[in-house]
Amino acid sequence: MAPNSQFSAELRVFEQHRDEWSRSHPGDFVVIQGDEIADGFFGNYADALRAGLQRFGVRKEFLVKQVWLTEPVYCIS
Amino acid sequence: MGSVHLKWSPLDLTDPGPIIEVTVMNSPDVLSAWRTDGLECPAPVRMKALLDTGASVTVISKVYANYCKLLQTSEGSKVTAIGAEHHCWEHAGAISFPGTDLRPFESIRIRSVVFEKEPYYAILIGRDILRNWTITFDGRHRLVTIVD
């Protein structure tokens, strides 16, 4: 997590569930704002974004996070 | 089915690769939510994009991500470029291809990184988008063709 992360609360919630979620829903997306988790897992980013907008609105940002046990490092050559 | 032809010469050793004009903006879902809340929506921003088969994901310059006011949805992931790891942020965005009939990509995840030098292009079109296209390169005629 980056220092002074604007998603620090959400990422802390995610870390509390990472092991469990990565076993039950690897590769799916979750949506979190503060310590509140949107219902369900989402098979793609667009569906997760839409669910986040419906649940939390757009006034305050929410975390859309793909569930992996280990965070991938993306290659951009 | 849309298509576009791009002129590109591989002979220039300083040329990073084929470039396409794109328009980057927030996803329609985000714009709709902003409008509903009476918030002002930022205008789409036109920029140059590099078609980059070496990029596993689409990555925009952090400067441009801020300029486009892309909704940030995560942070803390990493990208590696020539062995060096860089912090990246994640945003919801939409990418379209003005002047072509290629299908736009709406509500996609776009990573942003701090570009060490602001190059000729502002965004790398990575394999998350490229995988949706058939791309051919005719070296003799210096022509890249994209069909979606």
pTM of the model: 0.93
To the nearest whole Å, the CA of B136 is away from the closest chain A CA by 21
Residue A1 reports pLDDT greater than 60: no
Q: How do residues B72-94 score in pLDDT, each as one tens digit?
A: 999 878 888 877 888 999 999 99
Looking at beta carbons, which residues of chain B come within 8 Å of A75? 54-56, 79-81
Q: How do residues B14-64 score in pLDDT, each as one tens digit?
A: 888 999 999 999 999 999 999 999 998 999 999 999 999 999 999 999 999
Beta bridge partners of B80: A75, B85
Minimal Cα distance from B83: which residue of A? Answer: A77
Average the pLDDT over A48-59 and give the result. Answer: 96
B31 touches chain A (CB under 8 A): no
User: What's the confidence (pLDDT) of residue A56?
Assistant: 97
Q: Which amino acid is at B37?
A: D
Interface subset of B 61-90, CB within 8 angstroms of A: 71-82, 85, 87-88, 90
